[in-house]
């Protein structure tokens, strides 16, 4: 009996330690400051919808391509595709790489997230310092602080489509590429 109890305790401790290591390996996802959900939505649906959007916001903060692949459907479509950006997952991956090269300490906050049906609307704020290079311009540490709004259509727990609008004018003025 004593060996059975000792074995069970050892198994419980091992499971706890392994579980903590697994949790520790998971990235901390960006949490919306305000979350508004359709009152009729099931909590598990809201959780699945917001998980995809939180992974995507965390991808923009961290630049971790694994998070983009978890957040975006394999057939992801950017419905507001900027000129020169590739369609599909390749587009955000390339944009993030370029953005992090310009603003290495980039931070993406979700100011507000609204969930209704298969849609999630995220109001985002990007902050950091322009210490890298953007289109041949070398940063001098200028503060970056601008907003963006994304509308996602979620399917099977991933972002299938995205309509987005970024305040690129403010960003370009802040880094000195365009005069204010």
pLDDT truncated to tens, each residue of the chain (180 aa)? 444 333 333 333 333 333 333 344 558 999 999 999 999 999 999 999 999 999 999 999 999 999 999 999 999 999 999 889 999 999 999 999 999 999 999 999 999 999 999 999 999 999 999 999 998 999 999 999 999 999 999 999 999 999 999 999 999 999 999 988
Largest CA distance in the chain: 79
Question: How high is the pLDDT of residue 9?
Answer: 32
The answer to whether 64 and 170 have CB atoms below 8 angstroms apart is no
Of residues 42, 17, 22, 47, the one with CA closest to residue 32 = 47
Question: How high is the pLDDT of residue 26?
Answer: 59
End-to-end CA distance of the chain: 78
Distances (CA, A) of 108 to 26, 125, 154, 178: 18, 6, 20, 23
Question: How high is the pLDDT of residue 80?
Answer: 95
How far from chain centre, in Å, is Cα 30? 7
Question: How high is the pLDDT of residue 13?
Answer: 32
Query: Residue 76 has which token pair?
Result: 């992801």
Strand partners, 136: none
Question: How high is the pLDDT of residue 16?
Answer: 35
Question: How high is the pLDDT of residue 20?
Answer: 39
The DSSP H or E segment spanning 64 is none
Task: Fill in the DSSP letter of residue 176.
Answer: T
Q: How far apart are CA 19 and CA 109, in angstroms?
A: 28
Strand partners, 110: 124
Query: Residue 30 has which token pair?
Result: 């960006």
């Amino acid at each position: 009996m004593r060996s059975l109890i000792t074995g069970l305790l050892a198994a419980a401790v091992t499971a706890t330690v392994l579980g903590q290591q697994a949790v520790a390996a998971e990235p901390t996802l960006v949490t919306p400051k305000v979350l508004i959900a359709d009152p009729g939505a099931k909590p598990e649906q809201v959780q699945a919808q917001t998980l995809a959007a939180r992974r995507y916001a965390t991808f923009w903060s961290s630049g971790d391509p694994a998070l983009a692949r978890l957040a975006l459907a394999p057939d992801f479509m950017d419905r507001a595709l900027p000129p020169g950006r590739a369609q599909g997952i390749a587009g955000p991956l390339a944009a993030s790489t370029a953005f992090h090269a310009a603003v290495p300490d980039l931070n993406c906050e979700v100011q507000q997230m609204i969930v209704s049906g298969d849609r999630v609307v995220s109001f985002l704020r990007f902050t950091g310092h322009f210490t890298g290079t953007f289109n041949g311009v070398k940063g001098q540490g200028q503060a970056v602080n601008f907003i963006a709004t994304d509308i996602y259509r979620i399917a099977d727990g991933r972002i299938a489509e995205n309509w987005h609008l970024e305040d690129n004018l403010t960003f370009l003025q802040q880094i000195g590429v365009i005069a204010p």
